[in-house]
Amino acid sequence: DPQLNPAYTFDTFIEGDCNRVARRAGKTVAEKPGGTSFNPLVVYGGVGLGKTHLAQAIGNEVKNLNPNKVVLYVSSEKFINQFIDHGRNNAINDFIHFYQMIDVLIIDDIQFFNRAEKSQDAFFSIFNHLHQSGKQLILTSDKSPKDLEGVQERLLSRFRWGLSADLQVPDYETKIEILDIKMKNDGLDMPREVVKYIAYNINSNVRELEGALISLLAQSSLNKREIDLELAKKVLRNFVKSSTKEITIDAIQKMVCEYFDVAYDKLLQKTRKREIVQARQITMYLSKAFTKNSLKTIGEHFGGRDHTTVIHSCQTVKDLMDTDSLFKESVLELQQKVQLAAM
């Protein structure tokens, strides 16, 4: 069960002013799970700032230092879906019991607990049990716990028992270090002035920083051209532009079909074959990310599915990308193709 991505470690998580408190608290927690006042540890911050990476680094480090500890990483979406499945099978007690056996419970993106009342009730009893037994809880959220809407007050007050630490957009020096480690891990090199140019011009989040790097590499290999400042300027101009330029759902569907060698009509039918389901989910995810169509319109392009199916698909893709590096590679490669097509 690939819950933890082994690439997400503390070694590859660069420390800077933007994340120092959260990273150090995470390290402390990994060394003494349940044995510090940082319980729960809540890591919050905007998209692409490293919440999943840091949360998984804690899990990996615990396993590394203490292989006997039971560590579970789960997204709140998956937790809720499991809860619903167990409810259908009258097995809520099994569900709660399973979670109560865990030493280190990591729940990613708790903002999706929003309005899932019954799941919150289950989480509340799991939280209490684990906390009382000295087990560690690590939670991530896109907002500070005090700004979380639709989450029960009794849960929010428990989140305040521990430490909440935020992740900010990295400063210039940290961006340089992040680019350096990504290049080192992929065995790449490029002129310093190019690295500096990217760090200086990408100011949104770390995922975009990586995206810019990938775009540049792709352009360089596609055009059989050395990476230099001129190419970097051209690619980054297009990179920024490509996120605003419109590409159609049809075009994305074609690209995905070609990539996975799946027939176009299969994508629209109700087939439950795994490869086709995944291709369909990725297409929805990319359509949401790269077109301005509503969820409803996207659903209609897939044989009239409704918007909740689209939401679910996008979430499934995100979850899989966090835990399955091969899957993530495919999605990133496709994302790259879509971005290039939009140039």
Counting contacts by CB under 6 A, is residue 76 touching ligand ADP?
Answer: no
Nearer to ligand ADP, 183 or 257 (CB): 183
Question: Which tokens is 72 given?
Answer: 């579970």
- Scanning 32-40, 44-52, 121-129, 229-237 for contacts with ligand ADP by CB under 6 A, the matching segment is 44-52
Contact 72, 102 (CB under 8 A): yes
Q: In what order do the strands lie in the sheet with 163-166?
A: 71-75, 104-108, 136-141, 41-44, 163-166
DSSP 198-213: HHHH--S-HHHHHHHH
Helix axis angle, 51-65 to 20-31, nearest 10°: 20
Q: Among 49, 71, 165, 194, which residue sits at the site for ligand ADP (rule: CB under 6 A)? A: 49
Contact 291, 248 (CB under 8 A): yes
Nearest-approach distance from CB 290 to ligand ADP, in angstroms? 17
210 binds, among ligand ADP, Mg ion, none (CB under 5 to 8 A by kind): ligand ADP
Counting contacts by CB under 5 A, is residue 52 touching Mg ion?
Answer: yes
53 binds, among ligand ADP, Mg ion, none (CB under 5 to 8 A by kind): ligand ADP
Q: Among 5, 52, 291, 339, which residue sits at the site for ligand ADP (rule: CB under 6 A)? A: 52
Counting contacts by CB under 6 A, is residue 47 touching ligand ADP?
Answer: yes
Distance of CA 338 to the CA centre of its chain: 20
* Lookup result for tokens 């099994």: 94
Q: Among 206, 235, 317, 338, which residue sits at the site for ligand ADP (rule: CB under 6 A)? A: 206
Counting contacts by CB under 6 A, is residue 48 touching ligand ADP?
Answer: yes
Closest CA relative to residue 32, chosen from 69, 83, 7: 69
Q: Among 184, 207, 233, 273, which residue sits at the site for ligand ADP (rule: CB under 6 A)? A: 207
Question: Which tokens is 49 given?
Answer: 């700032």
Contact positions toward ligand ADP, by CB under 6 A? 12-14, 19, 45, 47-53, 178, 206-207, 210
Residues lying near Mg ion in the complex (CB under 5 A) are found at 51-52
